[in-house]
Amino acid sequence: MHLDLSGRTALVTGSTQGIGEAIAVGLARAGARTAVNGRRPDAVEEAVARLREAVPGADVVAAPGDVSTAEGASALFDALPVVDVLVNNVGIFGSRPALDITDDEWRRYFEVNVLAAVRLTRTYLPGMRERGWGRVQYIASDSAVVIPAEMIHYGVSKTALLGVSRGFAKEAAGSGVTVNCVLAGPTHTGGVEDFVYELVDRSVPWEEAQREFMRLHRPQSLLGRLIEPEEIANLCVYLASPQASATTGAAVRVDGGYVDSIVP
């Protein structure tokens, strides 16, 4: 299958590392003009350099800004007014006993994990509809369905994205714009390595720590290992492509079989 996004502009929020960076690389390989976003301009420039090295000749744009604030989202739109593929990837996570999560922490998780995506969808969806083509994606998580006891604030924020995605898909109905949610499973990123070592003995080697984490804390996984970011990106690039024109309003799983369900 040849996925060609030539002539399209893609924005991936939180794309200076991890899943977001892998998605940006994948979209650039498919020919999209790709905007890399992050809060720190230096981190954005470093990620842009890595992307250009990974995809020689790629058309890459530095798009720094804190999209978890209205001001940051507005500034990003001023710098990048036309986006055809919007991947709402930015997010935060961390473990916390359920009864210790404060109001401020709940608000922060919703600002970053939910409202940032809502703002940018509200910003870019009208232009996509006018042009008659567009792709909006939300990077959710298996935690949206299987709420982790050690971080319910994270899980609930990802559950909210499922509703946000379905709602905006209805808003885009019949316009040529598709809106979907990607349910990513436990994925191997630097941040997840830190998270694993919060729950597993730090003195053991990474491969052993990963196996122990999956055995004790993610035993439902049929894959039996952490997913690599590129495996998430592969699905996102497909959903951004013309070939995915009939997939909208969906929650598509790339979770290693973690969610114990026979329906999507």
State the pLDDT at residue 209.
Answer: 92
> What average pLDDT is seen over the chain?
96
138 as an active site residue: the answer is no
Catalytic one of 154, 197, 238, 258: 154
Residue 65, helix vs strand vs coil: coil
> Which parts of the chain are beta strand (E)?
9-12, 33-36, 60-62, 85-88, 134-141, 177-184, 251-254
Residue at 176 is within a domain: yes
pLDDT score of 264: 76
Residue 182 lies in a domain: yes
- Identify whether 4 is part of a domain: no
Instruction: Looking at 172-228, list the stretches that DSSP marks H as alpha helix, in order from N- to C-terminal side.
Output: 190-199, 206-217
Domain membership of residue 96 as a residue range: 9-187+227-254
And the tokens for 167?
């709602």
Is residue 202 in some structural domain?
Answer: no
What is the band of 168 on the pLDDT scale with cuts at 50, 70, 90? very high
pLDDT digits (tens, 9 = 90+) for 94-145: 989 999 999 999 999 999 999 999 999 999 999 999 999 999 999 999 999 9
Say if 33 falls within a structural domain: yes
The one-letter amino acid at 236: C
Average pLDDT of span 45-57: 98
Whether 207 maps to a domain, the answer reads no
Evaluate if residue 228 carries a pLDDT over 90. Answer: yes
Are 186 and 259 spatial neighbours (Cβ–Cβ below 8 Å)?
Answer: no
Task: Say if 260 falls within a structural domain.
Answer: no
Q: How many domains does the chain have?
A: 1
Evaluate whether residue 120 is within a structural domain: yes
- Say which CATH number the domain at 99 has: 3.40.50.720
Residue 169 has pLDDT above 80, yes or no: yes
Contact call for residues 158 and 142 (beta carbons, < 8 A): no
- Mean pLDDT of the 229-244 span: 98
pLDDT at 224: 87
